[in-house]
Amino acid sequence: MKLPERIKISLTGVWSNKFRSFLTLLGIIIGVSSVIIMVSLGSGTQKVVGGQFEELFSRQVYLTSNWNLPYNQMGELSLDDVDYLKESMIGVVDVIPFFRTWKEVTYEGREYTTSVAGVVEKALEVTNLKLEYGRMISEEDVKNHERVAVVGQRILEQLTGSTDYGSFPGLEIRIENQKFLVVGVLGIAASTVSLSNETILVPMTTFRDIWRMEGEHPEFFLITYDVRTGERDIIKQAEYLLNNKYGTVRGESRFMMSGIESEMNLINNIINIMTMVLGSIAAISLLVGGIGVMNIMLVTVKERTREIGIRKAIGASSQDIQSQFLLEAIILAGGGGLIGILVGVGISSLISLILAMSFEWWQGGTPFWVIFLSFAVTTAIGIIFGFYPAYKASKLDPIEALGYEE
């Protein structure tokens, strides 16, 4: 029997029990569409997180003391290290020091404890903190040791009880009883690897004048580098230079460094694990659908025992019978897979559209590999779970089959 004829007979067999076939298809459809939706959302999340990280922290290396060591063995950065690293490293654009402490801030009797960072004029540029109102710390502020501050919106909300952010520049606040003039306001959404919008930025020189102990050693450096230099190369250079200058503790560096690559690898691993877990849970319904295919094919073989006997009696071979029922199983599973793919891609696209309308940074899309894999798996399910019923049908004795009564 030729293949087109076998397919025609198989389609007739599937169509003869429309409702039962639909229920079998439904299990496969739910499984495939669930997997596609989960993987698509995971892929979209990965793109968004990667894009946000690259936008915020591209071509930057964060350098600080090694907090895994005992306090008395950790390295302490100094301002001398700024020039030392800039002059000794290849591919470095700049080395920006940051000082930080926690202080009590007051305004008209209201108090709030927050972080205070001593920065240079480039801080906004390298951290991507968002300036909402006013201006940033300037080079003149740093040079003249000015007592000016750029303050996060939430801090000013707590101090003033107001959300009229545009009126905040010009306010006079006290940081540990030291007067500071607010010249700028950080946006509420601003964030970075080590500073958030709940921070007060003051000129580095002013910070070191007032808080001498905290101003002795920078808390961290941000090292920026050019496009021709890789992150790993920058980290290796900085580690080599600092280890030569400060020594190591049992072979371990006194400093720790990280960049976007290491952070992104960690985040991608977490997202991949979450996607795999959710996808695996959704894939269980595919397994259930496969069992449903086997069950329905066993029932079909039993119901059509006399038909099998008649076909064998008029010359159909065991191979013809086996291929017919195997094709029916593949049609059920593969058809469910195709419909599931369409449903999954459609729902994923709809979700992505809704998210894109709500969040401009959302990047949706269904990876092609998951579409191909879904179809391949459902076809394999048809073959695997349809083989036993088809084999059982092919082994029926034609005389016994003709005499079978339900």
- pLDDT digit string, tens, across residues 216-232: 899 999 998 887 788 88
Residue 56 has pLDDT above 60, yes or no: no
Quote the percentage of the chain above a pLDDT of 90: 33
Tell me the whole-structure pTM to 2 decimals: 0.59
The whole-number pLDDT of residue 368 equals 84
* Mean predicted confidence (pLDDT) in 60-79: 91
φ, ψ at 118 (rounded to 5°) = -90, 120
Average pLDDT over every residue of 120-145: 88
Q: What is the pLDDT of residue 49?
A: 66
- Report the DSSP beta bridge partners of residue 344: none
pLDDT tier for residue 111 given thresholds of 50, 70 and 90: very high
Highest mean pLDDT pick, 107-121, 250-264, 391-405:
107-121
- 77 vs 289 pLDDT, higher one: 77
pLDDT at res. 64: 93
With 80 as the cut, is the pLDDT of residue 401 above it? no
Q: Any idea where the domains of the chain sit in the sequence?
A: 3-54+268-402, 67-253
Q: What are the strands, taking DSSP E only, across 267-383?
A: none
Q: Is the pLDDT reported for residue 55 higher than 80? A: no
Q: Is 145 left (phi over 0), alpha (psi -120 to 50) or beta?
A: left
Tell whether the model's pLDDT for residue 121 goes beyond 80: yes
Place of tokens 């969040």: 359
**The tokens 């459902």 sit on which residue?**
378
Average pLDDT, stretch 151-169?
88
Beta partners for residue 131, in sequence order: 186
Confidence label for 264 from pLDDT (cuts 50, 70 and 90): low
Beta strands in 241-376 (DSSP E): 248-249, 252-253, 255-259
Residue type, 171: L
pLDDT at 190: 44
Give the pLDDT band (50/70/90) at residue 84.
very high
Spell out the residues 6+ positions from residue 356 whose beta carbon is closer than 8 angstroms to its own: 362, 364
| Residue among 181, 234, 211, 249 nearest 99 (CA) | 211
pLDDT digits (tens, 9 = 90+) for 269-318: 777 787 777 777 777 877 888 888 888 888 888 888 888 888 888 887 88
Query: How many Å is the Cα radius of gyration of the chain?
Result: 34
pLDDT tens, residue by residue, 337-370: 899 999 989 998 888 888 777 666 666 678 888 8
Q: What SS3 state is found at 402? A: helix
Burial state string for 31-70 with b = 16 or more CB within 10 A and e = fewer than 16? bbbbbbbbbbbbbbbbbbbbeebeebbebbbbbbbbeebe
Which segments within 19-125 are labelled E, that is strand?
Answer: 60-65, 92-107, 110-119
278/208: higher pLDDT: 208
Q: What is the pLDDT of residue 370?
A: 84
The C-alpha atoms of residue 118 and residue 294 are separated, in whole angstroms, by 69
Query: Looking at residue 115, what is its pLDDT?
Result: 92
pLDDT value for 327:
86
Whether the predicted pLDDT of 249 surpasses 90:
yes
Vertex 163 angle, CA 162 and 169, to 5°: 90
Task: Please name the amino acid found at residue 222.
Answer: L
Calculate mean pLDDT across residues 187-210. 78
What pLDDT is recorded for position 165? 82
The mean of the pLDDT values for the chain is: 84
Q: How confident is the model at residue 191 (pLDDT cuts 50, 70, 90)?
A: very low
Residue 260 confidence (pLDDT): 67
Confidence of residue 70 (pLDDT cuts 50, 70, 90): very high
Is residue 189 classed exposed, middle or buried when 0-12, 13-18 and 19+ CB atoms within 10 A define those classes? Answer: exposed
Is the pLDDT reported for residue 381 higher than 90? no
